[in-house]
Amino acid sequence: MTMTLTSATQLTQNHLLSLKDYSTEEILELLALAADLKKPENKHLPLLQGKVLGMIFEKSSTRTRVSFEAGMLQLGGHAMHLSTRDIQMGRGETIADTAQVLSGYLDGIMIRTFHQATVEEFAANSKVPVINGLTDDFHPCQVLADLLTIQEHFGVLAGKKMAYIGDANNMSNSLMIGAAKVGMDITIASPAAYAPKPDMVALAQSIALETGANIHVTTDPVEAVAGCDVIYTDVWASMGQEAEALERMEHFKNFQVNEELVQHANSHYIFMHCLPAHREEEVTTAILEGPNSVVFQEAENRLHTQKALLVALMGK
């Protein structure tokens, strides 16, 4: 393989806690490496031969677990599933103690949990790279896959317009940051009671000042979608919010991505969803399975961008 990166293993950060910590250049380099690793002839390059990734799960997972585990195997390494039901962290051992112990055994740690502070404390006490596989605040690995997918379809990222429709959650937070980093415009359309937190909007806007991107928040999904290139949505009730599902459905009933709403987008728009989807709630099946949908390509790209991230962080 001819590497497109001269600094693939020289990221300025030792961890991935949020994309806000990565420069535009680093993000674009990771996407370039992911595109290389996606080529069939490069699927099984043993770039992490003998390396072991520990994967800690406090939240259930399909795409995160399978993509990280498959990625490590394809890179010649091994991935170890560590449920908090099985390790002592779930029985009272401190995060700091767990991080120090596990980082003495492993070459990298991915953690999928509730609180961003947990990932940050883990990283502060770890001797090896720590990857945020999802928290209530951020989902940076998903956004790397999203950006690769958009780049594959349009050839460029800067100047493209995205509309995120629905709950302002960890996905909208991470998409605002990721879009701002690469110069994409993004509008978040949510009911007023579920709007993005002001500090998250301010963070994204501060990044956007450096790249020329525009960050906008509205309560009108039609306004958000008008003239956009990418329509993105997520479930209305995320993990841990199941008890609120009925109440949330009432608030979000006018925020469904359906055949009527997408008429306001550019004809070449692509539809994205981080999955799993609740069909006929946040999106109709006709849109999810329609010709503009790239959700399964997007899901596959989790594998390729995470392989690039693993090589960059653990290949040192």
Catalytic residue, candidates 15, 151, 273, 274: 274
Q: Is 134 annotated as a binding residue?
A: no
Is 266 labeled as ligand-binding?
no
The pLDDT of residue 113: 95
- Gap between the terminal Cα atoms of the chain: 18
Phi then psi for residue 164, to 5 deg, are -105, 125
Q: Where are the alpha helices (DSSP H) in 155-284?
A: 170-182, 198-211, 221-225, 245-252
User: Does domain 15-138+301-315 match CATH 3.40.50.1370?
Assistant: yes
Residue tagged active-site, from 15, 36, 137, 142: 142
Closest CA relative to residue 184, chosen from 203, 165, 162: 162
pLDDT value for 91: 76
d(CA 223, CA 240): 30
279 is in an annotated binding site: no
Residue 170 marked in a binding site: yes
Determine the Cα–Cα distance for residues 49 and 52; give it in Å rounded to an integer: 9
pTM of structure: 0.95
Q: Quote the tokens at residue 185.
A: 């415009």
List per-block mean pLDDT (blocks of 10 residues) for the chain, which spans 316 residues. 46 95 97 98 98 95 97 98 83 92 98 96 98 97 98 98 97 98 98 97 98 98 98 87 82 97 98 97 98 98 98 92
Tell me the residue length of the chain.
Answer: 316
DSSP 8-state assignment for residue 196:
P
Is 84 marked within a binding site? Answer: no
228 is in an annotated binding site: no
Is residue 111 within 8 Å of 121, Cβ to Cβ?
Answer: no
Q: Provide the pLDDT for residue 237.
A: 81
Q: What is the pLDDT of residue 25?
A: 97
Given the residues 234, 256, 273, 304, select the one marked as catalytic: 234
Q: What is the dihedral of CA 302, 304, 305, 309, to 10 degrees?
A: 120
Question: At 217, phi and psi to the nearest 5?
Answer: -125, 135
Is residue 112 flagged as an active site residue?
Answer: yes
Task: Tell me if 64 is assigned to a ligand binding site.
Answer: yes
Q: 302 labelled as ligand-binding?
A: yes
Catalytically annotated residue among 112, 248, 273, 304: 112
Written as one string, the DSSP assignment of 82-131 is: EETTTSGGGGT--HHHHHHHHTTT-SEEEEE-S-HHHHHHHHHT-SS-EE
Concerning whether 234 is annotated as a catalytic residue, the answer is yes
| Residue extent(s) of CATH 3.40.50.1370 domains in the chain | 15-138+301-315, 141-298
- The secondary element (H helix, E strand) that includes residue 162 is strand 161-165
141-298 fold: Rossmann fold (3.40.50)
The DSSP bridge partners found for residue 110 are: 55, 131
CB atoms within 10 A of CB 127: 11
Among 15, 139, 273, 304, the one annotated catalytic:
139
Residue 44 annotated to the active site: no
In the annotation, is 304 catalytic?
no
pLDDT for 85 equals 81
| Residue 91 marked as a ligand binder | no
Annotated catalytic, 142?
yes
Tokens, residue 97: 């103690």
- Residue 279 bears catalytic tag: no
The one catalytic residue among 15, 302, 304, 306: 302
Burial (Cβ within 10 Å: 0-12, 13-18, ≥19) of residue 214:
middle
Q: Is 218 annotated as a binding residue?
A: no
Compute CA distances 147 → 62, 64, 313, whole Å: 20, 17, 19
